[in-house]
Amino acid sequence: MIDWSFGGGIFIAKYNYWISILLMLIGFYAMIAKGNLLKKVIGLNIFQTAIILFFVSLGDATLGSWGKGVTEPIVKGTLPWAAGGIVEHGVVYANPLPHVLMLTAIVVGAATTAVALALIIRMYEEYGTIEEEEIIEKERELGV
């Protein structure tokens, strides 16, 4: 299951991680390089989604886990709902915990986006633009 040998296999077998890293970098790039505030927020969203994806794929028995731990159930024995990604009665369960955690993370992400959008709207009302450069310029004109 755990394959740390740096063969070509790691790229394919762990494709979920590569995807989330790629998404993360895209989001990061957008946040840093884009001047448009809205694009920054989109970047932020991509970044957060990438992390959510990472967590969610952790829970999956066929994809998850670098080391020991996740694939082992946190409660061993007769509680099927708690058995994370183990074969019990011939059924592969995904570990539900990371998924549940991500519900919270999604909520947090939504809240962050909401606040960010609210700020952007107010800035648009104030300055008539959502380009960072232009806002800074207008501030300078106002002499702050």
Q: In terms of CB distance, is 9 or 72 closer to other proteins?
A: 72
Contact status: 120 vs other proteins (CB under 8 A)? yes
Under rule CB under 8 A, residue 48 binds other proteins: yes
Q: What are the structure tokens assigned to 16, written together?
A: 């979920």
- Which span sits near other proteins by CB under 8 A: 5-13, 68-76, 86-94? 68-76
Residues 21-40 close enough to bind other proteins by CB under 8 A: 28, 31, 37, 40
Answer for which of 75, 87, 92, 106 binds other proteins (CB under 8 A) is 75
In whole angstroms, give the CA distance from residue 113 to residue 74: 33
Binding of other proteins by 101 (CB under 8 A): yes
Is residue 139 within 8 A of residue 89, CB to CB? The reply is no
Positions that interact with other proteins (CB under 8 A) = 28, 31, 37, 40, 44, 47-48, 51, 54-55, 58, 64-72, 74-75, 82, 84, 95, 98, 101, 104-105, 108, 111-112, 115-116, 119-120, 122-123, 126, 135-136, 139, 144
